[in-house]
Amino acid sequence: MPPRVNLEKCNGCEGREESFCEEVCPGDLMTVGEETMRAFCRNNRDCWDCMSCVKACPRNAIETRIPYQLGYCNATLKPFMGKNSITWKCIDIYGNVKTYSYKNRLEV
């Protein structure tokens, strides 16, 4: 199940012309439901798991999940954008946690 939106955290980026996830998705897959006012993925099958929506969401409301066809459920990988750096927190299906952190921009 590629992008999973937490319906409590998501507010459809109320007040914006388009939500952040809608603005960034390279496949034009993320949009906001008219009645629900919550973001959703038009078609999970077309999702490349690039995680642009996950990174863009100001409320950390989106998580990527691997389709069950490929990987088992309940592992997570969350990016945290920093200044010129990024931190990833990964939890596998057995509960093992790993964190990775590195610079993704040089000071110019």
Interaction residues for another protein, span 10-69 (CB under 8 A): 17-19, 22-28, 31-32, 42, 44-52, 64-69
36, 48, 59, 90: the active-site residue: 48
Q: Is residue 108 exposed (0-12), middle (13-18) or buried (19+ Cβ within 10 Å)?
A: exposed
Residue number with CB closer to another protein (8 or 26): 26
Residue type, 75: A
Q: Which residues contact 57 (CB under 8 A, 6 or more apart)?
A: 10, 20, 21
Mark whether 88 is an active-site residue. no
Residue 10 C-beta: closest distance to another protein, Å: 15
